[in-house]
């Protein structure tokens, strides 16, 4: 097997295991077996279990980095917020384990929180704050709104929708078919809440 295949294989197999059991809940042998590889390949390709976990998190949080590209787009702030919400939905749909790493690193951080998770989330929050501040300076938003509090509220609306999915199915249809409706609903409440 080519070097890259073996490495990618180890990362793919480790992702659900780390997501479900946490960094400490799974050992080298199980991680190797799940990938159908000799556990020694973990040390060989990734240095250690820590190295494998770091690679898994790097891959999961990579899409958050791309959110900051919205900064460069010459769109109005409300369009950028909508693109952020839409990108967040797409991330969770594409990577069901992301939420698990996201919440576990925030409540019980490993060293990867400081090196991977925190920079990724800060990049997104900073982009959102700058976007809101820009709109404020152009008199688009109500005076007196705190940019940081406002964008954390927006982030909460969409992220929490996915976190509560396992327990609120009785009240809300969480299926992907309804994603566009949810995005529009959040943007409706948010824009009425902040626009002048």
Binding to a second copy by residue 100, rule CB under 8 A? Answer: yes
CA separation for the pair 30, 37 (Å, rounded) = 10
The answer for residues whose C-beta is within 8 angstroms of residue 189's C-beta and 6 or more apart is 157
Interface pick for a second copy out of 24, 63, 111, 133 (rule CB under 8 A):
24
> What do you get for the CA distance between the two ends of the chain, in Å?
60
Q: What angle do CA 75, 87, 172 make, to 5 degrees?
A: 120
The answer for residues whose C-beta is within 8 angstroms of residue 22's C-beta and 6 or more apart is 104, 108
Interface pick for a second copy out of 43, 126, 133, 140 (rule CB under 8 A):
126
CA separation for the pair 37, 69 (Å, rounded) = 37
The footprint of a second copy on this chain (CB under 8 A) covers a number of residues equal to: 56
Binding to a second copy by residue 1, rule CB under 8 A? Answer: no
Per-residue binding letters, 105-124, with a second copy (x by CB under 8 A): -xxxx---x---xx--xx--
Helical H segments across 76-117, by residue range: 77-94, 98-107, 111-112
Binding to a second copy by residue 81, rule CB under 8 A? Answer: no
Piece in contact with a second copy (CB under 8 A), picked from 32-40, 44-52, 59-67, 153-161: 153-161
Interacting residues with a second copy (CB under 8 A): 19-22, 24-25, 99-100, 103-104, 106-109, 113, 117-118, 121-122, 125-126, 129, 142, 145-146, 148-150, 152-153, 155-161, 163-164, 166-168, 170-172, 181-182, 185-186, 188-194
């Amino acid at each position: 097997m080519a070097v890259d295949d073996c490495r990618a294989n180890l990362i793919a197999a480790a992702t659900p295991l780390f997501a479900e059991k946490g960094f400490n809940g799974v050992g080298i042998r199980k991680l190797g077996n799940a990938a159908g590889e000799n556990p020694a390949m973990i040390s060989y390709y990734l240095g250690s279990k820590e190295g494998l976990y770091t690679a898994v998190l790097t891959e999961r949080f990579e899409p958050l980095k791309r959110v900051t590209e919205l900064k460069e787009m010459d769109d109005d702030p409300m369009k950028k917020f909508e693109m952020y919400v839409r990108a967040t939905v797409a991330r969770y749909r594409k990577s069901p384990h992301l939420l698990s790493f996201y919440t576990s690193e925030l409540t019980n951080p490993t060293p990867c929180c400081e090196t991977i998770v925190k920079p990724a989330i800060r990049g997104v929050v900073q982009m959102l704050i700058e976007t809101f501040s820009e709109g404020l300076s152009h008199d688009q938003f109500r005076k007196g709104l705190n940019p940081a509090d406002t964008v954390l509220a927006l982030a909460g609306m969409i992220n929490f929708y996915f976190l509560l999915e396992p327990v609120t199915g009785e009240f809300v249809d969480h299926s992907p078919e309804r994603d566009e409706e949810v995005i529009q609903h959040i943007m409706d409440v948010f824009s009425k809440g902040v626009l002048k």
